[in-house]
Amino acid sequence: MISLFFKRCAPFSSCSLTFLSVIILSIININISSVNCHPLDSYFRAMSTNPIVTPQWLMQNVNKVRLIDATYAPTATRDYKEFKTKCYGNFDLLTKNNTVAAYTGEHIPGAAHFGLDSAYFPSQYIKFDLYPPEHFEKYLRLLGINNDEQVVIYSRGPAAGMMFASRAYWTLKAYGLTNLSLLNGGLDAWKAAGGPTDNSVVTPKLGNVNVKSLDNTILAKFEEIPFNEFAENKVDYLDARTTPQFTGEEPLNKTFPDTKATGSHVTGAISFPMAKVIGPDGFISQQDVDAQIANLGLKSGNQVYVACNTGIQASVIFVALERSGIKAKLYNGSMTELASRAPELVNATGNN
């Protein structure tokens, strides 16, 4: 059709030039509209990364990766003084005592168990505090992790198997590991796709991974967060707890009975529960997550913090933000620390 048009128009005549202009403007408009319809601007899109893999991908690559099962069963709160005296850094003992029944009953063949009660220790204010790098390196080596190999993490249970897996993912990333992936949908998705499981004891060969320092670009501590002055310091503070917990419909003292806090969240926090980014099969599409993030009104120059009760739900949001190109710091102490250490900061209720 285009060649027929040009045969009827003299070369470079006003007729042909007009037609060319229409074509060029149409292409430009298509490109502009495709950019403008994206809910996040180019700053975020340029930094996006996708750590999520499918069961089908894992089936094709299962012999090329290190598998980690992050299944967790909550236990009674551990006393930090007693733990530090008897168990701190004793990973052989912790691994032996904290492997959960769900993992031992069924897991992907070859997967070692990453236990939350083994990988972290309870400190005065933080339920899942981080070991110094030289200590945690010993634990990662017990899991068989080597330098430069790809680690694929999965779990089961809450958030379509993504909650505890996301926590393990953020943790390994915080210790400097970079070649990390998450199995979307966890063990259930693996089984639904026809993937095998077994209950054999997995004792990996001791790994050689090196851990030199914690990555403070994705880890936030209480002292650095400008509470009550978020706007002045160009901060967006995302609260990943459930909506009833954020608004106060579910009182804070239900989760933290001894707190003296009068509110349900910190002033200026933005509610972004992990349910916004999770569907029945794991993380929803990046495009849908982008749309959810766009509704938050984040600014490209702001420092983003994510928090929840113990730093676990916030890990899900951390992964979702990372996939959409948002750099964030996870506040590991979260509400557990605030409710005890600084309850006066938890002074807001409702949706604002």
Report which DSSP code applies to 279: E
Q: Is 87 a catalytic residue?
A: no
Token readout for 12 is 């470079």
d(CA 205, CA 217): 32
d(CA 240, CA 288): 17
Q: Check if the beta carbon of residue 113 is closer than 8 Å to that of residue 202.
A: yes
Strands (E), the chain: 52-53, 66-69, 112-113, 151-154, 180-183, 219-220, 235-239, 270-271, 278-279, 282-283, 303-307, 328-331
d(CA 98, CA 118): 6
What single-letter amino acid sits at 302?
A: N
Q: Check if the beta carbon of residue 9 is closer than 8 Å to that of residue 2.
A: no
Neighbour count for residue 313 (Cβ, 10 Å) = 27
Beta bridge partners of 265: 348
d(CA 248, CA 16): 67
Token readout for 26 is 């149409």
d(CA 104, CA 259): 37
Which residue in the block uniquely carries the two structure tokens 């095998």? Answer: 196
Catalytic residue among 9, 15, 87, 308: 308
Catalytic residues: 308
